Amino acid sequence: MKKVCKTAAEALDGVLFDGMLIAAGGFGLCGIPELLIAAIRESGVKNLTVVSNNAGVDDFGLGLLLQTRQVAKMVSSYVGENDEFMRQYLAGELEIEFNPQGTLAERLRAGGAGIPGFYTKTGVGTRIAEGKEHKEFDGETYILERGIVADLAIVKAWKGDDVGNLIYRKTARNFNPMMATCGKVTVAEVEELVPRGALDPDLIHTPGIFVQHIIQGQHEKRIEQRTVSAA
C-alpha cells in the first residue's frame, strides 16, 4: 500500500465528507497538523465535529475552520486563546462539549484500543457528570465516559517513513499518539520523511499500521504566546 502523498489535498482526497468527526492532534499551536487543517479548509467540507484539546488561535490552526464556519461542534478541554471560538460559543453558533483534559486523552486512547467506555472519578458532582451513568466501586462514585472513534484523525510528527511509522519531538507529542490510533483513517504530516529502516524501532511512537497516508511539508512553527524580557 502506497502511503506517501505529495500534498495534503492528495492525502485527504476521497476521505472528507460533510458532518464527519475529525480528531486533530496538537496542544495550543504545538504539534498541530497545520497543512492538513489548511487543506480541510480549502476543501469546503462543513458541519464538522472536531475533537481537539483546543482550537488554535483566531488566524492559525483550527481557528481557520472556525473563521469559515465549517465546524458545528468542538469536543475540547480548553478554549482560552481563540476569540472567535469564544464569540461563536457565547452567541449560540457553536456547540461545545467540554471534557477534563485527562478524560479527553483517555477517551481517545480508549477508542483507539477498542474500548467502548470506561469509568472515572473526574467530574463526579459537576456538570460534566450530568446525564452520564454513575456507578460505585469500592465505595467511590464514578461516571461512565465513552471512547472516541473518529472518521478521520490528523496528526503532526517530527519524522516518519514511507510505511507511516512516526516519531514525535518532545512536547509536540502531546495528544498526537492518541489521535493517531482513534481514527478510522489517519493522515500524518511530518517535518522529515526518511527511508524505511532509518528509524530506530525502539523510538517509534506511532506504528505505521495506524497510518493510511503521510505527507512531508514545511511548517511555520508559530509561537502561541511570545514573552520577551527587557534588554
Residue 221 maps to a domain: no
Residue 3 belongs to some domain of the structure: no
- Who's near 199: CB < 8 A, 6+ residues apart? 159, 161, 165, 167
Rounded-to-integer distance, Cα 118 and Cα 2, Å: 36
Quick check: is 139 in a domain? Answer: no
Mean pLDDT of the chain: 95
Does this model's pTM top 0.85? My answer is yes
Domain membership of residue 134 (yes or no) is no
Q: What is the pLDDT of residue 81?
A: 77
Residue 185 lies in a domain: yes
Q: What is the pLDDT of residues 88-144, one digit of tens each?
A: 999 999 999 999 999 999 999 999 999 999 999 999 999 999 999 999 999 999 999
Write the CA distances from 86 to 38, 63, 66, 79, 105, integer angstroms: 21, 11, 10, 7, 22
Number of domains observed in the structure of the chain: 1
Tell whether 2 is covered by a domain: no
pLDDT at 230: 82
CATH number at residue 43: 3.40.1080.10
Within a domain: 16: yes
Domain of residue 13, residue span = 8-115+149-216
In the chain, which residues have pLDDT < 70? none
Please tell me the distance from the alpha carbon of residue 155 to that of residue 166, in angstroms, as a whole number. 10
- The predicted structure's pLDDT at residue 125: 96
